[in-house]
Every structure is written in C-alpha cells, then in structure tokens.
Structure 1
Amino acid sequence: MLFLILSLSTILAKSIKANQLAQIENQTNLKHGGDHHHKFKINVPGTGIVQLEPSIGTVIFAIEIQDENASVALDRANTLVTKAVDDIKYNLFQEDYTIQTGIFQLSLRYDYTTGVQQLIGYSVTNQLYVTTKNLKLIGKIITVGVNAGLNRIDGVNYSNNQEELVNANDEAIKLAIQDAQRKANKIAESLNLKFAQILHFKYLDTYNNPTTDAYSPKVAQGMSTKESGIPTPIFAAKNNVRVDIELKVLLK
C-alpha cells in the first residue's frame, strides 16, 4: 500500500511539472507571435554628426571706464567708442564687415575694505561687435581694434548662416538613421535573427554647437597700442551639428 501511494505521488508531481512547463511554453509562444519564429521589438539609438566650416566670424570688443563721477565715466566711454569705430572704419576701408554696439552697462563701484560699504565711483562697460564673412580678416580686426584703444576682447565667435545649418541638420538626420539601422543589423546578427522592419521613429534632439574661441582680456590689455602690420593669428574651429534619434525595430 505504501509503495502504491508513493508511485501515485510521483506520477502526480510529474503531471503538475509537465503542466507548468506547457503553460510557460504557451506564454512564450504568445509573446513572440504565437509561432515557432521568435520576434523581438527593440529600441535602437542613432547619432548623426556633421562638421561645418564656419562662414561667419564676430570679434566682441569691450571698453570699460571707471571714474568717481558717472557723467565723466560715460563721456569717456562714449568718446573712446566713437574714436574706435572711426579708426576701425578707416583701417578696414573697403573690407567686407559690419559693426554694431552690444551690451551697455553703468554700474556702481563700492569699497568694503573698512567693513562698511562705501561708494567710490562708477564703471561704464560698452561692447562693440565686428562681424565679417571673410574669416581671414579676423586677425586684422583684432589688431585694429586694440590699436584703436579698445581695452578688452570678450571673445571671437564663429558661426554659420541659417541655410548652412538647415542643410547640415538634414544630413545629420540621415546619418543618425543609418547609424541606428547599422546597430539594429549588428544586434540581429548576434542573435541569429534578421532586421525585419522599422516600426517607429522618434526624434530625440538636435545639438548645434557654435564654436567660440575666447580671446583673453589680459592678453588684449597687454598688447602694444602702436600700429602694427602683423595681424593677430586666429584660427577657426569647426561647428558641430548633431542629431540624436531612436528607432523601434522588429527582429525575427
């Protein structure tokens, strides 16, 4: 009798285990399409980067005047800017460039050495933007501006026009899709599957990184104000346009 009970228990246990395995197998088949061919849906990222040679350069000059009297500081700043603009126009006669004023700021100056806030004067800051499509002119613009009395350079910005950026963005999208498809094919190959189709496209982001080559104000202040025929050497870096996308693809 004991042997019969043990045999029935063993048979029942095997039956339960077989049923569990059958349920797992059925769930797996349903998950992969209900047939004998496995199907996987995966998300694959793609990145496309296009490098642009800059076509526009802007030198950002700044003058900073300090005085105990606000009116005096303002007059000195205006006089210096007017003279600098005239000098730049004279020295860059018939060159391809545009010139415009930028940020203007009048601020108070305080002394805290005694532990008490004490007004000691005023500071006037005015920016001047000189832009050109002839990048070979950038060095000369810097030299002319410094010789004209502009005592600070806040940077040299390089950029591209809108049409160039749009074309680069379109090319970056194409490269990003190709990159995602390449990755999908590689994953499928590793799993002994095939890249079947694209199910969904997702546009993640675009990164347009204009290059700025900062030109140290300390260097500008230390340069000689004597007329020099040697332009300041400045080299433009490339502008990167990057697009990130995501593809949902079917592998089978």
Structure 2
Amino acid sequence: MAGLLSRFFGRERKEASIRCGAVVPAAGSSSRMGQDKLLLPLDGTPVILRTLRALEDCPHIAEIVVVTREDLIVPISGLCREAGLTKVAKVIRGGKTRTESVLAGLGELSRGIDLAAIHDGARPLVSQALLEAVITRGAHSGAAAPAVPVKDTIKVVREGVVERTPDRSVLYAVQTPQVFQRDLIATALKQALAEGAALTDDCSAVERLGIGVAITQGDYCNLKLTTPEDIATAEALLTWREGS
C-alpha cells in the first residue's frame, strides 16, 4: 500500500510541475470575417483577451508569446497590460505564413521550457478542463491535440461533383491547443518550411515525420471564430455556458 501511495503521489507531483509555454498565432488577415476578429467584442471583451485570459488561468502554462501583425502589436500589448496578464511575456510580429509565425513564437519562449502549446488566438472559449487534459497528454506523449467527432456527413468533392463519402466514424475535427515537445515541433515546422509544405495545423508537421499525435477529448464549444456567424454562435454559447 505504501508503495502504491508513493507512486500515486509521485505522479501527482510530476503532473503539477508541468511547465508549458503557449504560443498564440494571431497574425491572420481576418478576410472571411470582414473586420479584425481579434479585437471584436465578445460579450463586451475583445476576442484575443478572452483567449489569453483562458491561457493565463491554466496552472501548467508558465508564459505566453503572442505572434501577431505589426499593426496589432501595440493594441494587444495594451490590452494585456490593462488586464494585468502577467504570463504574456512578449507580443511579436508574425511571419508570412502560420508556420513562420509559430516558429517565431517558439524561438521567443524562455530557455528551460521544453513543452509548447500552440493555440489559435481566435479560439476564445477554450475551457480549463480541455487545457488540463491536452497539456498533460502532451507532456506524457510528446504530441497531443484535442478533437471532436464530426457531426455532418463529409463528402469529397471535385469540380462540383461528389467523388466519395468517407466513413464518418473515423473522422474528427482537430482543435487547439496542440501540445508538443518544443524541440520536436520546431524541427517538424522547420522541415515543412524548407520543403514548401502547406500546413493547415501544426500536427500535420509532426505527422510528416511519421510521428503519431495523441488525441484527447475536444469541446464543441471550442470553436474557431472565422466568419460573422461564428461571433453570434460564440455569444450564444457564452450565455448557455454561464447559465448551465
């Protein structure tokens, strides 16, 4: 019994000591939104501030680097100061692509931080339970991401004609944060960049190396704000979540 308790409490101490750096890519053009989505108010609070507050509140996250457009560096820095976000270490300029921006953010994390969580700036409804689960899994496996089963039937379409219908039971929508050993994701992204690979998420870079990414339970509320309809949905979800 003593040995069992020792192993249990040792594991708890190990998980409590996880130190993760968060990189927040927020350098997109917001073209599909029609206006800058990061500064849009969501129930009175700018989207980016809601995102950063969620990361700030996670005990495993030791520091945050925001990677954004040059014209947003001052506004976002000001929001962080006014909100008293102590974990936001830097707000820096991003690159031409998401891959370049994430690499820039990884390079600005402090030495000694070996685990990196990459989280979209436009995902303001991420929960503490999701953060806890994926960061812990990433610390143990080296690469992890949250995902939810797709609800709709998916069609592969070419030139306006359905080509095939994949089996929905094996299809998942992957979310962020995606959590990796820092050296692993840096190496994977550098190789993808050198080879001109077009990536839509960071897991893809690691998958290209033949390394599996562990999946944790995602959250349908953890949506990425992309179009104007998403703002209305997020407002409704906030009201629903606060009332439940």
What is the TM-score when the length of structure 2 is the normalising length? 0.24
Work out which structure has the larger RCO, using CA pairs closer than 8 Å and 6 or more positions apart in sequence. 1
Structure with larger Rg: 1
TM-score, structure 1 as length reference: 0.24
